[in-house]
Every structure is written in structure tokens, then in C-alpha cells.
Amino acid sequence: MNRLLATQNRRVVDPNFTHQLPKIELHAHLTGSISPQILHQIWAQRKTQDSSFILNDPLIEMSTELEHFNVSAFFPLVSTLSVLNGFMDDGVRYLELRTTPRVVQASGITKTSHISTVLDCIANFRLSTKDIMPTYLILSIDRRNTLTEAMETVDLAIQFRSQGVVGLDLCGNPSKGNISIFRPAFEKAKAAGLQITLHFAEIPASSTEEELRTLLSYEPGRLGHVIHVPTSIMQEITTKRIGLELCLSCNVNAKLISGGFGDHHFGQLWATESPVILCTDDVGVFGSPLSNECFLAAKHFDLSKEDLIQLMRRSATAIFSGESEKKKLLHILDEFQKSMQL
């Protein structure tokens, strides 16, 4: 009896385990991943440099105005580095970060120089940390973009492919924009061998059958959020084994789903054969690092330690960078499972 209890206890997930677990993060927006403390430091630095800068301290006022203060474009090095360190310290062992190319005219920053600086930062980080967290970049197209802007983003992704850009994302306010205009952009990306991930069915208004079918016709390898999906479309998604980036704290705290953690669609989707990936989305905003997302999933859906390791194996099948990183991750997970005597 005691031995049975001891075995069960060994399987019970605690925050220490989810911190140690080698984790895979595939849906993290660079700007939203900056911690409030780092935002404050960047804000203070900007304030001393520019007396006409009128935004309030982000620690005092977390407002939508922050979106206009393009932190990652103004200070790409400090923001990217702080975000990479945050994920590494939380035990992330593979990261696909995403960001929107931005222009900051006053500082002479172009979309090209913005993305090139982020990529340089990632490359230096990988070198200086002995590549403990292989990191790749996804470039975001905003739903409010014009087709010309979206094409520019695709061209940048193609230009920087050899430096670690692995795909394109479609994000932004889900109540805005007409996503059908982006077909030539996603076709060009696909033809160039880039992968595609799309924010999908975040709110009822962006979940019409027409919109969801159009998005699926862009042949995404992964989908983000996947909340308001009719059954027939969900069946198509699971049959195609499209990767599902699920963000528990974001969806609960931003009230994108009704109810609490136990009501999240993770419960149903985890039971399918699809690659399900737990993701933070905007850890700087929602304050729940990936280790905590894993803990929440275990707590509310009764996952064991083995289940979480298996979840990471499934996540590994959905990465965009290719077979060699996938193999490395599966090996790391095997070794981890052995070391935990599971």
C-alpha cells in the first residue's frame, strides 16, 4: 500500500517538476513577453532621452497606449535579451519567438534593421549560452496590414531565412481587418518553403465559417488559440494533425473563453491525436511563465509527470525548424524521463 502511494506521489506534478521539465515554447509575442520591470526600465531610459515622450510609466499604467510605444523596435537588444533570459531561466529548451517588423522613423530604424538586430541578439544569445535554448524567429503580419505591408514581411522572412526565420504568423486585433486579402502573401511564403501559423477563431467575430476556411486554405502548420471552432472544421484540423498552440492563462484572464481553467478546450484537444502545445502568448502581460502553464494544465486536467513529458514530445513534432532540432528535443526528453526515474 505504502509503495503504491509512493509511486502515485512520484507521478504527481508540482511546480518544481514543471520548472525542471525541458519545455517547448512556440507561441510567444516578443513585445508581450517583456516583463513589466524591464518595460519600466526601457520607459525610464526613453524618458531621459526624449523630453517630448509623454507616455506614463507602464508599471503604473498598463494601457493600450503601450502598443504605440514600440518597445521592441525602439530597444530591440535589451527587450529581446530580457525575453530570451526569461524563457531560459524558466527551463524552456526550444523557442520560436514571433514579432512584427516595425519602422521607427525618428530613430532611423527600418523594418530590415529591426529584424536584423533581433536576429543578431538571438545569435549572440545562442552562442553565449552554448545553445541551451535553440531559438528561431517567426515574423508576424498584423490583421490591419495592407497586402503590400504583408508582402514586405514575407520578403523579409525570405531574406532572413538563413539567419533563423522559420515562418510567418497572422496576429493582431481579431475584430479588425479582412484576412482574405493576404492570400498572395501566404502563397509566396509557402512557395519559399516557410511555415505558417495563424491566430485562429479567437473571438466569435473572427470565427465565421468563411474566415476559418479561408485561413485553412493558407495551409498553416499550426494554429493559435482555436477557440470558437465549429465541429466540422475542428475535425478537419485534427485529421490534418495541425499543431494547436493553446494559451490557458491568456484565454482565461482575457476572458476569450467563458469559465475558468477547467473549462478550457485544452481538455478536449489533449484527448485527440493532434500536436497540442502549451504556450504563454504574452507572459509579460499575463504573468504566467510556461512552467506555470504546464502546472495549471496538470492541475486542472489531471495530467501526470509522464503526461507532461508526452505533451512535450507531441509539441516537438510541430516545431518549424526541422528534423534535426526535433531529434535533439526528443533525446533531451528521453534523458529527462530517465533521470526522473519515470
Ligand X SMILES: CNc1ncnc2c1ncn2[C@@H]1O[C@H](COP(=O)(O)O)[C@@H](O)[C@H]1O
Query: Phi-psi region for residue 23, left (φ > 0), alpha (ψ -120 to 50) or beta?
Result: beta
Q: Which of 27, 29, 93, 314 binds ligand X (CB under 6 A)?
A: 29
Site size with ligand X, rule: CB under 6 A: 18
Could you tell me which of 39, 246, 29 has the C-alpha nearest to residue 137? 29
What is the sign of the dihedral through the CA atoms of 112, 72, 31 and 64?
negative
Rounded least distance, CB 104 to ligand X, Å: 12
Could you tell me which of 156, 175, 152, 176 has the C-alpha nearest to residue 165? 156
Q: Which of 41, 72, 206, 207 binds ligand X (CB under 6 A)?
A: 72
Would you count residue 222 as binding ligand X (CB under 6 A)?
A: no
CA distances from 196 to 23, 155, 172 (A): 21, 14, 15
Give 234 or 283: the residue with its C-beta nearer to ligand X.
Answer: 283
Give 204 or 322: the residue with its C-beta nearer to ligand X.
Answer: 204
Would you count residue 31 as binding ligand X (CB under 6 A)?
A: yes
Q: How far apart are CA 317 and CA 243, in angstroms?
A: 8
What is the sign of the dihedral through the CA atoms of 6, 299, 20 and 304?
positive
* Piece in contact with ligand X (CB under 6 A), picked from 30-38, 51-59, 84-92, 231-239: 30-38
What is the sign of the dihedral through the CA atoms of 183, 188, 193 and 198?
negative
The neighbouring-strand residues paired with 165 are 137
* Piece in contact with ligand X (CB under 6 A), picked from 29-37, 85-93, 187-195, 289-297: 29-37
Rounded least distance, CB 177 to ligand X, Å: 10
* Piece in contact with ligand X (CB under 6 A), picked from 23-31, 80-88, 130-138, 290-298: 23-31
- The DSSP code for 104 is B
Between 322 and 341, how does the x/- string for binding to ligand X read (CB under 6 A)?
--------------------
Could you tell me which of 131, 86, 46, 120 has the C-alpha nearest to residue 282? 86
Give 172 or 267: the residue with its C-beta nearer to ligand X.
Answer: 172
Alpha helices by DSSP H, listed for 66-208, are 71-74, 76-89, 111-128, 147-159, 183-191
Give 211 or 307: the residue with its C-beta nearer to ligand X.
Answer: 211
Q: Which of 21, 26, 30, 329 binds ligand X (CB under 6 A)?
A: 30
Would you count residue 280 as binding ligand X (CB under 6 A)?
A: no
Would you count residue 292 as binding ligand X (CB under 6 A)?
A: no
Give 152 or 282: the residue with its C-beta nearer to ligand X.
Answer: 282
* Piece in contact with ligand X (CB under 6 A), picked from 28-36, 80-88, 116-124, 261-269: 28-36
* Piece in contact with ligand X (CB under 6 A), picked from 27-35, 37-45, 55-63, 270-278: 27-35
DSSP string spanning 292-337? Answer: HHHHHHHHHHT--HHHHHHHHHHHHTT-SS-HHHHHHHHHHHHHHH
Would you count residue 142 as binding ligand X (CB under 6 A)?
A: yes
Active-site amino acid positions? 202
Rounded least distance, CB 233 to ligand X, Å: 19
Q: How far apart are CA 182 and CA 109, in angstroms?
A: 25
The binding site for ligand X (CB under 6 A) comprises 29-32, 67, 72, 99-100, 140, 142, 171-172, 199, 202, 250, 254, 281-282
